[in-house]
C-alpha cells in the first residue's frame, strides 16, 4: 500500500449548481426547453433552495472545507432591467450559512442556464449578450462581495456552446457553426470584461478577489480503428478547439487568477465533419462509467501537467462520476486523487479539489437517472443518505492523505 500526501492548506470540497439542485427555477430557459422537448423536468430538483442548511451541515460533517455553488441568474434578474432583492438576499443567507459553518464558498455566476427573457432575445449569440450578463454580474458581485472572494464567471463555456449550437441538444438548440463561434466570442468577452469589473468592485473596497472559469478538459485520443492518421489529426483539432482556444485567450488577456479545471474522462476521436467527432465504437479498451464515459485517471495527471505552462494556480472545480456500484465510485475517487497527487509532486500548483457533486441532482437532458452525489437523494421524500464513497472521501479530507 502506498501513501499520497496533500499540502496542508489543500482545499477539499464538493460542487453543486443552482438549476440542478434548487428546484423551482421556472424562469430559466432550461425549464422551457424541458417542456418543449418533452424531457424529464427538474421541477423541485433536490429542494436544495429550502434544504441548503441540511446539505451544508452534511458537507461539514464530511470534513469538507469548501463548497462550490452557483447562482441562478433567472432568479436574480427575472426581467432585463429588474433585479430581485429577495433572491439576492436568499443567496446572502446561503453564503452566511457557509460562513457560519466555516466552509469557504467558490461561487459560479453562470452554470449553463439563462433567464427566459435572455433566451428570447437571442441567448449567447445575440449582440447584447455580454452587456446583459455583465449588468447581472456587477449587481450580484457588488451585493455579495463581502462574503465571497473566489469566483467562477462561467462554467464550461465550450460544453455550453457545443451542446447548444453544435449538437443542439441543449438550449438554445441552434445548430450552426457560425452562431457557435458568435456565442463563444461573446462568452469570452463577458469573461474578460467581467474579470475587470469584479476586480474594480473589490479594489474600491480595498479587497482582493480570485477569478476564473471552470474549464472542462478532456484527454483526446485518436480512435485506433479505421483511418488512423486522419483520426489523429481530428483528435489534435478537437483538443485545440475544446481544451485550449478559450483558455489561451483568457490567460493572455490577464482575465484569470487561477485555472478552474473540470475533468471527468477521455474521449476517442474519429475523423468526421468539420471538427471531428466522438468515436462511436464501443470496444475501446478501458473502463466506462454508468454514463458511458471512458474513465481515465491518468488523463487528469496529463492535463494538469499540460496546464503548467500558464504558471497559474489550479483548482479542480469538478471531478466525479455516476456508477452502478459503491466500489466503482470509491475507485474513481482514489485513482483520480493519486493522479492529482502525482501532478502536485511534479510541481503542478493545485490548491483544491471539488468532487462533483455534493448531492445527487438533475443531470440536464439525462434527468435524474445519473447519480453523481456523495449523498444520495430520495426524490420522493427528499431525504439525504450518505453513500459509502462519502465516508471514504471524508477520511481523505480529514487525514489529508490517501492510502491505496
Rank residues 87 and 156 by Cβ distance to ligand BGC and give the closer one: 156
Residue 58 CB, nearest approach to ligand BGC (Å): 19
Look at strands 277-278 and 259-270 and give their pairing: antiparallel
- Should residue 356 be labelled a site residue for ligand BGC when binding is judged by CB under 6 A? yes
Rank residues 123 and 216 by Cβ distance to ligand BGC and give the closer one: 216
- Should residue 262 be labelled a site residue for ligand BGC when binding is judged by CB under 6 A? yes
Rank residues 156 and 239 by Cβ distance to ligand BGC and give the closer one: 156
Query: Among residue numbers 359 through 378, which ones bind ligand BGC (CB under 6 A)?
Result: 363, 372
Residue 56 CB, nearest approach to ligand BGC (Å): 19
- Should residue 108 be labelled a site residue for ligand BGC when binding is judged by CB under 6 A? no
Residue 141 CB, nearest approach to ligand BGC (Å): 21
Rank residues 159 and 275 by Cβ distance to ligand BGC and give the closer one: 159
- Should residue 28 be labelled a site residue for ligand BGC when binding is judged by CB under 6 A? no
Residue 231 CB, nearest approach to ligand BGC (Å): 24
Look at strands 375-377 and 350-356 and give their pairing: unpaired
Query: Among residue numbers 182 through 241, which ones bind ligand BGC (CB under 6 A)?
Result: 216
Rank residues 72 and 156 by Cβ distance to ligand BGC and give the closer one: 156
Residue 403 CB, nearest approach to ligand BGC (Å): 28
Residue 204 CB, nearest approach to ligand BGC (Å): 31
| CA max distance for the chain | 59
Distances (CA, A) of 77 to 124, 139, 140, 203, 268: 16, 9, 9, 25, 40
Quick note: the x/- pattern for ligand BGC over 120-159, rule CB under 6 A, is: -----------------------------------xx--x
Of the residues 29, 55, 318, 323, which one makes contact with ligand BGC according to CB under 6 A: 318
Residue 216 CB, nearest approach to ligand BGC (Å): 5
Total Cβ atoms within 10 A of residue 275: 16
Q: Would residue 22 show up in a list of annotated catalytic residues for this protein? A: no
Rank residues 17 and 74 by Cβ distance to ligand BGC and give the closer one: 17
User: How many residues appear in the chain?
Assistant: 404
User: Residues 245, 208: contact at Cβ < 8 Å?
Assistant: no
Rank residues 70 and 77 by Cβ distance to ligand BGC and give the closer one: 70
Determine whether 397 is exposed, middle or buried from the number of CB atoms within 10 Å of its CB (0-12, 13-18, 19+).
buried
- Should residue 339 be labelled a site residue for ligand BGC when binding is judged by CB under 6 A? no
Rg for the chain (alpha carbons), in Å? 20
Rank residues 125 and 371 by Cβ distance to ligand BGC and give the closer one: 371
Of the residues 6, 10, 14, 17, which one makes contact with ligand BGC according to CB under 6 A: 17
**Size of residue set near ligand BGC by CB under 6 A:** 11
Total Cβ atoms within 10 A of residue 388: 13
As beta bridge partners, residue 316 has 261, 353
From 34, 318, 323, 335, the catalytic residue: 318
Residue 77 CB, nearest approach to ligand BGC (Å): 20
> Would you tell me which residues interact with ligand BGC (CB under 6 A)?
17, 20, 155-156, 159, 216, 262, 318, 356, 363, 372
Q: What residues are annotated to the active site?
A: 318
Amino acid at each position: 500500500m502506498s501513501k499520497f500526501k496533500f499540502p496542508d492548506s489543500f482545499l477539499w470540497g464538493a460542487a453543486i449548481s443552482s438549476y440542478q439542485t434548487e428546484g423551482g427555477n421556472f424562469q430559466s430557459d432550461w425549464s422551457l426547453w424541458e417542456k418543449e422537448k418533452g424531457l424529464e423536468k427538474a421541477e423541485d430538483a433536490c429542494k436544495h433552495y429550502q434544504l441548503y442548511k441540511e446539505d451544508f451541515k452534511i458537507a461539514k460533517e464530511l470534513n469538507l472545507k469548501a463548497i462550490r455553488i452557483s447562482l441562478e441568474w433567472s432568479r436574480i434578474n427575472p426581467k432585463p432591467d429588474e433585479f430581485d432583492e429577495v433572491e439576492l438576499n436568499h443567496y446572502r443567507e446561503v453564503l452566511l450559512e457557509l460562513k457560519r459553518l466555516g466552509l469557504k464558498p467558490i461561487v459560479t455566476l453562470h452554470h449553463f442556464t439563462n433567464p427566459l427573457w435572455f433566451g428570447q432575445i437571442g441567448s449567447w449569440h445575440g449582440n447584447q449578450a455580454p452587456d446583459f450578463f455583465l449588468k447581472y454580474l456587477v449587481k450580484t458581485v457588488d451585493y455579495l462581495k463581502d462574503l465571497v472572494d473566489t469566483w467562477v464567471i462561467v462554467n464550461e463555456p465550450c460544453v455550453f456552446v457545443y451542446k447548444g449550437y453544435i449538437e443542439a441538444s441543449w438550449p438554445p438548440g441552434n445548430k450552426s457553426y457560425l452562431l457557435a463561434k458568435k456565442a463563444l466570442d461573446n462568452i469570452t468577452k463577458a469573461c474578460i470584461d467581467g474579470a475587470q469589473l469584479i476586480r474594480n468592485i473589490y479594489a474600491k473596497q480595498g479587497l482582493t478577489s480570485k477569478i476564473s472559469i471552470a474549464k472542462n478538459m478532456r484527454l483526446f485520443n485518436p480512435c485506433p480503428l479505421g483511418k488512423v492518421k486522419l483520426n489523429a489529426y481530428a483528435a489534435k483539432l478537437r483538443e485545440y478547439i475544446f481544451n485550449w482556444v478559450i483558455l489561451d485567450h483568457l490567460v493572455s488577456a490577464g482575465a484569470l487568477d487561477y485555472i478552474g479545471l473540470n475533468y471527468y474522462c477521455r474521449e476517442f476521436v474519429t475523423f468526421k465533419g468539420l471538427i471531428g467527432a466522438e468515436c462511436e465504437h464501443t470496444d475501446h479498451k478501458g473502463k466506462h462509467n454508468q454514463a458511458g464515459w471512458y474513465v481515465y485517471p491518468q488523463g487528469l495527471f496529463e492535463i494538469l501537467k499540460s496546464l503548467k505552462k500558464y504558471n497559474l494556480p489550479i483548482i479542480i472545480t469538478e471531478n466525479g462520476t455516476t456508477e452502478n456500484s459503491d466500489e466503482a465510485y470509491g475507485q474513481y475517487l482514489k485513482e483520480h486523487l493519486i493522479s492529482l497527487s502525482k501532478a502536485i509532486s511534479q510541481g503542478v500548483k493545485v490548491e483544491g479539489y471539488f468532487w462533483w457533486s455534493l448531492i445527487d441532482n438533475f443531470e440536464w437532458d439525462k434527468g435524474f437517472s445519473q447519480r453523481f452525489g456523495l449523498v444520495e437523494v430520495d426524490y420522493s421524500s427528499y431525504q439525504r443518505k450518505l453513500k459509502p464513497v462519502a465516508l471514504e472521501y471524508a477520511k481523505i479530507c480529514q487525514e489529508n492523505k490517501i492510502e491505496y
